[in-house]
Every structure is written in structure tokens, then in C-alpha cells.
Amino acid sequence: MFTLRVNWLAAIVAGLMAACCGCERSVSDRARKGAVPMSIVLTSQAFADGQPIPVKYTGEGDDISPPLHWDGAPAETEEFVLICDDPDAPREEPWVHWVIYKIHANIDSLPEGVKPSPRPPVPAGMLQGLNSWPKVGYGGPMPPKGHGPHRYFFKIYALDTELDIEPELTKEALLEAMQGHIIAEGQLMGTYERK
């Protein structure tokens, strides 16, 4: 009788241990499959990470988008999304400067001066959403005078699906559409202070 109980307890313990190992294995498998965002390296020829954004790309200059390039996206990427915002704006939510999406998976860069239209011609197939002004396309840094330097985060997201969405989305609507599909991301931060 005692031996039977010991064997029964041993079987339960063995089963629990196997289940736990299975849990750990499934978490690791999900991580390997990209459920946990991996790191994409986002860079610009115009400025280095953490450095000032040249006046040319701000509201005090030509107000055109900077050139951007990225590396390190997973092979299963279907398309990219890029959002730029300023968390230092004097308001509750970050000020949105750029919302651009449906960037095809075979594209790894954006040229300088993407045309501010819902469907810019280059690169083909992309769509642009509304910034906080609210206008379509890129709006460069132009923080309040005397407010000190602001940080501008250019964030790139790799998605595992092609989104079925229209142009002129807000950042919030786009983030909602992307939910559950982000497999990698990266960011580039530039600063700007209006004198």
C-alpha cells in the first residue's frame, strides 16, 4: 500500500515537472519565432542617435523628412510601419510628427523628403497618416521657444502581416491595427531645441 502511494506521488511529481518543462520550452519556442520583438537598427545619414536633428529637417528649416535606413528585420516580415513622435511636448500625449505605413518588406530605407501625400509616389505602395497638426505626412520638430531640447523618436516596426487599412490614419488607429502583429522594432532618437 505504501509503495503504491509513493509510486502514485512520484508519477504526479514527474508529470508536473514535464508540464513545467513543456511551459519553458513553449516560451522559448515563441521567443525564437519572433513573438518577442527583436532589435532593428534604424539609422540616418542626417544625424546620429541622440544627436541634434539638422535645421533642414525641422519646422524652422525646409521641413522635409530625413533619410532613414534600417537593418536586422526578421525574414518573415511582411511590411514595416514608421512613427515619429515627441514625448517632451507640453501636453499629455506625445506630439506626433510622422505616421507612415504599408512599407513593403523588401524596402530598407526611406529617402529624404518623402512627399506629404496620402499615397507618396516613392517608395511605391506606402501610405501616410495624420500627424498632430493634423496634416498628412511629415511635420518637422518645432518645440515652443525657451522650452529646452526635445527628443524625437523615429520608431520602426516589422509586422508579420500586410495590414488592410486606408491612408490618413492617426497614430492611435494604426497602433490598434498593428496589435499582435509586431515581430521586431527599433528606434532612432534625435534632439532639437528652438532658440
Q: Which three cell numbers stand for residue 124?
A: 511605391
pTM comes to 0.81
Say whether both 22 and 50 belong to one domain: no
Say whether both 23 and 42 belong to one domain: no
For residue 88, CA distances in Å to 66, 95, 122 come to 20, 8, 31
The widest CA-to-CA distance across the chain, in whole angstroms, is 87
For the stretch 27-53, pLDDT in tens is 323 334 545 476 899 999 999 999 999
Say whether both 102 and 43 belong to one domain: yes
Q: Give the domain extent around 21.
A: 1-32
**Residue 71 DSSP SS3:** strand
Say whether both 104 and 158 belong to one domain: yes
Say whether both 79 and 169 belong to one domain: yes
Number of domains in the chain: 2
For residue 49, CA distances in Å to 44, 100, 174 come to 8, 20, 25
Instruction: Considering only residues 8 and 172, tell me which one the structure prediction assigns the higher pLDDT.
Output: 172
Say whether both 68 and 14 belong to one domain: no
Q: Which of 189, 169, 185, 177 is nearest to 100 (CA)?
A: 169
Say whether both 106 and 140 belong to one domain: yes
CATH number for the domain spanning 59: value is 3.90.280.10
Nearest-angstrom CA–CA distance, 98 and 127 = 11
For the stretch 172-191, pLDDT in tens is 999 999 999 999 999 999 99
